[in-house]
Amino acid sequence: AYLPGQAGTKLRNYLNTVTTDQYPHYLFQDQERKNHPMDQSPTPVARSSKVQLETLPLVQTEKQNLANDLATLGLIVARTTRERHPAIQEFMLVNDSTTVACEIPIYLTDEDIKAYRHQGFQINYPNLDNPITGHIDLIQIRNGLINIVDYKPDAHKIQPISQLLTYALALSARCKLPLKLFKCAWFDDKHYYEFFPLQAVYSKSRKQ
């Protein structure tokens, strides 16, 4: 798995940070957040899965991917519905050389959103008292891009664009990497859909 320039180093540094005490783990635990000296706001943390955004027109592509086959194997191993996600994540991490991490915590702050808007990004998040948080199922490196990939049962019936876009904006901000280096996708054992998050928030007539 290869990323050009310093992109690989920046991503690796973030992934290494999430296992340390320096990472704001309290953001992901409501009770810990309430008791943490760095965060005394009574406002609940917003979950990325609950975010609904209006986006610019984007191209959504359906394709076949190794993820479909590995999801099939993961579903065979999973004994319960609850075990589907971890089983599939483990199969991807062990059997797919492009997969570099799974179940990665991520957060997007109000300051991040303001910085994106300052760059000309069209983002309609409300003002945030606390960061939007979530966990990325899988991070893959393919064709010089960081792929943010989520397993979604009945993938053909849903459109998790807002959730995946939030993940991309958050990881881009945390790693200090341009959004053009990211691609988002969701899949199950039969379907795989992908899109470029930059298209969702930035006009093609303007440069990033």
Concatenating the DSSP letter of every residue in 128-164 gives -SS-EEEEEEEEEEETTEEEEEEE-TTGGG---HHHH
In a 10 Å sphere around its CB, with 0-12 CB exposed, 13-18 middle and 19+ buried, how is residue 188 labelled?
A: buried
Parts of the chain with a pLDDT under 50: 31-38, 40-44, 208
127 lies in a domain? yes
CA distance 109 to 153: 29
154 lies in a domain? yes
35 lies in a domain? no
27 lies in a domain? no
CA distance 177 to 193: 23
45 lies in a domain? yes
Identify whether the C-beta of residue 27 lies closer than 8 Å to the C-beta of residue 107: yes
pLDDT of 2 reads 78
Residue 159's domain comprises: 7-19+41-201
**How many domains would you assign to the chain?**
1
Q: What is the pTM of this model?
A: 0.87
95 lies in a domain? yes
pLDDT of 18 reads 97
60 lies in a domain? yes
28 lies in a domain? no
pLDDT of 190 reads 93
Dihedral over Cα of 45, 48, 49, 51: its sign? positive
